[in-house]
Structure 1
């Protein structure tokens, strides 16, 4: 993992705050969407052992979602405003950590191994969906059109930096200068169009850890919640 974009005056989007701090944090639940429905998602802390014997602790807290129909006012349109915070802490004080975070939104897909379809004839079970297998990728704040069985990957991290030639470049990975870090975001927006059936969303984070003898990416997922 490289940290050059933070050391070269990387700028995150205004809604995202990335600060190095000490760790502790939580995760997710579930809610049924209707006009202006607020969903409070539970906390989770995960500790993962790395190949060199060190470990990384990833905590998610303050996660919430507010869901309502879009200004289009039809069942085919809906919006979600999401907020949350991640705290990272590596046991090796010389380690470097980073994070890429976002949400997966599925139209008539059940997200997660513990989910089941709701009986809708066209519902599909896609239990292993990931950011890489999503149908479309977009920044939060953008609108996407999804049909049955399709999914969108909305990423909340967007860092600008100068590449080796001085040109403007972007990455979805935020790197921290040491073994601890925090990422917070507030009211990031996801706009879904065209989904006539039920829709679900779930948060995810890809955490990069680099030590003197190991480099690893750890994936963590939140619990799915309904967006209508």
Structure 2
């Protein structure tokens, strides 16, 4: 009978390989899908024009951060913003986005599905509107993230960018799918909340109606 001896180095290699195989087989954290209710609001302007704003098919998918630390958050958000006007408008624009907050109450600006009329596009969160998916916030801070980034030509024919989608007539809409929200620097709880701003201009009135979605946790 042949006695085959295995060297200690090879035996150790086999043990390490087995351990590595067990580690690689560990299940990864799964994404969390969050269906959201959206909302609807109607406002009657001073000239009798009725503006209806809707947020439909809204959802968020919360993913474990690639940073693997409590201060990193990732989410993918989807939804559809719709605007309908009772009469034809001279100019209409739709601007969807999200308020993101770190350890701060972002439920202000109107109850779920509520509205606030404003004369410009500036948001209700501190910091105004930003145009990036990668946000850095500390405790007590909030900012607004704009979904759209349309390439348009300015009056000189040069490339420019717009965060709004224009419409004419009686209705318009914007749809987004898996838009990224990346948050760093927040060691506590973090939340996000959708908003839809619809700017309407008739012959006698120029105003903005804002619809707020339901806040949801980023983890």
Tell me, yes or no, whether TM beats 0.5: yes
How far residue 152 of structure 1 moved from its aligned partner, in angstroms, is 2.5
- 2:211 is matched with 220
- The partner residue of 1:139 within 127, 131, 134 is 131
1:181 matched to 2:172: yes
- Aligned counterparts of 1:77 and 1:155: Cα–Cα separation in 2: 20
- Aligned counterparts of 2:58 and 2:125: Cα–Cα separation in 1: 24
Q: Tell whether the 8 Å contact from 1:103 to 1:203 is kept in structure 2 after alignment.
A: yes
- 2:101 is matched with 106
Q: Secondary structure at the match of 1:197?
A: coil
1:200 matched to 2:195: no
TM-score normalised by structure 1 residue count: 0.73
**Structure 2 segments unaligned to the other structure (5+ residues):** 1-28, 112-121
Q: Tell whether the 8 Å contact from 2:195 to 2:211 is kept in structure 1 after alignment.
A: yes
How far residue 200 of structure 1 moved from its aligned partner, in angstroms, is 0.6
Q: Deviations over 1:119-146 (max 9, x none)?
A: xxxxxxxxxxx73543375435x32211
- Aligned counterparts of 2:140 and 2:51: Cα–Cα separation in 1: 34
Distance 1:216 1:61, change over 3 A: same
- Aligned counterparts of 1:79 and 1:152: Cα–Cα separation in 2: 16
Q: Tell whether the 8 Å contact from 1:90 to 1:97 is kept in structure 2 after alignment.
A: no
- 1:17 is matched with none
- Aligned counterparts of 2:181 and 2:89: Cα–Cα separation in 1: 37
How far residue 81 of structure 1 moved from its aligned partner, in angstroms, is 0.3
How far residue 202 of structure 1 moved from its aligned partner, in angstroms, is 0.2
- Matched pairs, number: 180
- 1:164 is matched with 155
- 1:76 is matched with 71
- Aligned counterparts of 2:58 and 2:79: Cα–Cα separation in 1: 4
- Aligned counterparts of 2:52 and 2:128: Cα–Cα separation in 1: 30
- The partner residue of 1:50 within 45, 55, 62 is 45
Q: Tell whether the 8 Å contact from 1:93 to 1:178 is kept in structure 2 after alignment.
A: yes
- Aligned counterparts of 2:172 and 2:88: Cα–Cα separation in 1: 12
**Structure 1 segments unaligned to the other structure (5+ residues):** 1-33, 116-129
Q: Tell whether the 8 Å contact from 2:89 to 2:168 is kept in structure 1 after alignment.
A: no
